[in-house]
Structure 1
């Protein structure tokens, strides 16, 4: 128990009043009476201060949080005492999270339960811990004393890739409706080779799909409708080297890649394809063989949630050799990586050529917002000239490197981080529809 600033002020004031009473008798009596009244009020407040077992506190937060988005936290406080409680509540979420205020003031009547809500914004994946909830109660009369209660509510949580984005793409991807995402819609039927159904011919259908036998029987043109192939393999490779540690839109490139990989995995599994992952930097960090079971997405999320970028150069050769030994079947290899110049792209192409044409490689890169901003900014000083020239040179080298990779048969996506998931899924559906696997 401690005195509040109000009590300390009154004690000092009454002490000065009492000392002044040696010169003026009336002030002495006033000071003594006031001090006694203050003491009585403190005793009264102390008497009605509740024990810790008369206050129940619990926290409600999901054990799995999503990276880069708002996640809700609720604190519940129950007053089981017989008196009204004035209190201050302070929660202790992980320091690594961005959040609004975690301090709350409230007055609870006897037997009342009150909830307090705030949001957290995880900026890093991995394991974290919520700590104590601290509660300070003030005296019921004038708030002269304060008693602190510490509730040990240790709660481990895991921050996963942004699984909340899955629902955003799930329905649109499965139906081929991409206008909401700002991407070009691709056709879902008529470009595969697996039989789907027969229907009446329409002017947009290809002549080669007309079923002449069925047309003769029904005395009208009938077309055969095909669907894209199922049970194919999608192998997702994620580069966790130093170039993937760059930050864009508040998240690292690795974070953006993992978010997109999780969304792609969900869509591909729902389209009955087998999905696996391989994470690498200097060495292979994690491998999960392609499957399409209902639990595969959970396994993928579990492998990805704690992946960190390393300050090392990525070894493409060891990653592709590991994949070659572990996975033999033809697959769409979606590799989230980054390179800056033609030299690094040559290293990539040398290793991709080992996989091609048995596999179909798709290299996914992310544009750098900061470089584009520097190139487009107005020149105001001599330093701006040098910065703009350097940024333009880096962008030119990068474009040359991308062109070099494309010239050797690899598919390359170079997109803004915020469009990564939609562009990757759109390309995946396009590849499926064109029967490139």
Structure 2
């Protein structure tokens, strides 16, 4: 229990300080009477503390989720129960570490029958281990002169993981039979290069798919139906360097990349491919084996949750060379990265080109919405014109880098942050249908 004066008590002491000092100066022999005000104030504070609800009656608890997906706030319920004889209102506060944000972190709640409840929104800021550092409750006595405070020690950690709930929602929409037009790219029959079955020829089928021998045997046109190939190797290469920690639509780019990577992994596993994860900045940080089957998705989720933020510059030579050394057959390598200008991207282009000699590369870049906003904004001052010119130059440099990679044979996925995951899945499926692997 902690006991300390309120502002009212400090004001009460201050009001009596001036008269007490005057009495002590004008009548030194009455100095003992000058201290009477202080004694009276202290007595009132003591009486207020004795009349207040005792802290031993308080039961303080916080019901918080154990797992939170990045970018998906959750609500925690804070409860203060005095049993009987509680105060009219109580002030509640929650302390969290730098991985979480509590909104509001402090609030005053009225009690009903000695019980006060309040909701606190927990906003995940960064992946990792969030901690509830403590929960505090304080209240005053009937006179409002003293604060009584009690603290609940830190609770269990809160794991802040990639937003798997959003990934599964997107995946279910993609696989749904009634998905809206443009959001259902997951038909794996009718195209591709793996023979699936024979069916009666229908209008719209390719004439080259007619099986003439079977047509002659059955006396009608029979066509061959294909499906996309399976058992491909898909490597998700995550650049975790300094630039990937910059925000994109409210979340760090690396978190956007992980969400898109998990959605692609979910789709790939369901379509029979094998998926692995590789993360690097100044050196390789994570390298997993290839997993197969839908049951492997939780493993990939845990691996992606281990990918931490970094302030180091990305070493593409070391990272992509190490990645190439782990691949023993042609694979689809999905590179999630970002670059600031054409000069810094030169080494990246060289190493990606070296990787494309053997493998198919899906190159994922974030559309720089901030630069596009500066270019499209109507200038109101000379400084705005200068910013627009510089932003346009940087955008042209980025377009030059992606155009060069496209000429080298890379499949470029360039989309806004919110639509990156869907654009990536569509590109992956297009690659499979065209038989580019």
Name the SS of the counterpart of 2:80 in structure 1.
strand
Partner of 1:26: none
Structure 1 residue 214 displacement after superposition: 5.5
TM-score, normalised by the number of residues in structure 2:
0.82
Query: C-alpha separation between the residues in 2 aligned to 1:335 and 1:4?
Result: 58
Maintained 8 Å contact 2:45/2:146: no
Q: Judging changes above 3 Å, is the alpha-carbon distance between structure 1 residues 138 and 423 closer, same or farther for their aligned structure 2 residues?
A: same
Name the SS of the counterpart of 1:328 in structure 2.
coil
Partner of 1:304: 304
Say which is worse superposed, 87-96 or 39-48, in terms of deviation: 39-48
Q: Judging changes above 3 Å, is the alpha-carbon distance between structure 1 residues 175 and 208 closer, same or farther for their aligned structure 2 residues?
A: farther
Name the SS of the counterpart of 2:289 in structure 1.
strand
Query: C-alpha separation between the residues in 1 aligned to 2:105 and 2:174?
Result: 38
Q: Judging changes above 3 Å, is the alpha-carbon distance between structure 1 residues 10 and 433 closer, same or farther for their aligned structure 2 residues?
A: same
Maintained 8 Å contact 2:353/2:405: no
Q: Judging changes above 3 Å, is the alpha-carbon distance between structure 1 residues 358 and 177 closer, same or farther for their aligned structure 2 residues?
A: farther
User: Which stretches in structure 1 are left out of the alignment for 5+ residues?
Assistant: 19-31
Query: C-alpha separation between the residues in 1 aligned to 2:162 and 2:375?
Result: 32
Maintained 8 Å contact 1:277/1:288: yes
| Per-residue CA distance 1:339-379 (angstroms, 9 max, x = gap) | 34555554334323333343111111111112111211223
Q: 1:107 aligns with which of 111, 115, 128?
A: 111
Say which is worse superposed, 97-106 or 62-71, in terms of deviation: 97-106
| Per-residue CA distance 1:219-272 (angstroms, 9 max, x = gap) | 554444332222221101111223323332122322221221122222222222
Q: 2:94 aligns with which of 91, 116, 121?
A: 91
Maintained 8 Å contact 1:176/1:188: no
Query: C-alpha separation between the residues in 2 aligned to 1:185 and 1:326?
Result: 30
Structure 1 residue 163 displacement after superposition: 1.7
Partner of 1:429: 429
Partner of 2:157: 156
How many residues are treated as equivalent by the alignment?
416
CA RMSD of aligned residues (A): 3.4
Query: C-alpha separation between the residues in 2 aligned to 1:130 and 1:293?
Result: 36
Structure 1 residue 62 displacement after superposition: 2.4
Query: C-alpha separation between the residues in 1 aligned to 2:430 and 2:102?
Result: 40
Q: Judging changes above 3 Å, is the alpha-carbon distance between structure 1 residues 370 and 177 closer, same or farther for their aligned structure 2 residues?
A: farther
Q: Judging changes above 3 Å, is the alpha-carbon distance between structure 1 residues 328 and 46 closer, same or farther for their aligned structure 2 residues?
A: same
Maintained 8 Å contact 1:67/1:161: yes
| Per-residue CA distance 1:388-425 (angstroms, 9 max, x = gap) | 22222111122122111111111112221221111111
Maintained 8 Å contact 2:55/2:150: no
Q: Does 1:49 align with 2:50?
A: no
Q: Judging changes above 3 Å, is the alpha-carbon distance between structure 1 residues 377 and 199 closer, same or farther for their aligned structure 2 residues?
A: same
Say which is worse superposed, 1-10 or 329-338, in terms of deviation: 1-10
Partner of 1:167: 168
Query: C-alpha separation between the residues in 2 aligned to 1:93 and 1:156?
Result: 10
Q: Judging changes above 3 Å, is the alpha-carbon distance between structure 1 residues 78 and 198 closer, same or farther for their aligned structure 2 residues?
A: farther
Partner of 1:374: 374
Q: Does 1:74 align with 2:80?
A: no
Q: 1:132 aligns with which of 125, 131, 134?
A: 134
Q: Does 1:389 align with 2:393?
A: no
Maintained 8 Å contact 1:256/1:417: yes
Maintained 8 Å contact 1:89/1:134: yes
Name the SS of the counterpart of 1:327 in structure 2.
coil
Maintained 8 Å contact 2:68/2:74: yes
Maintained 8 Å contact 1:186/1:430: no
Maintained 8 Å contact 2:103/2:120: yes
Partner of 1:22: none
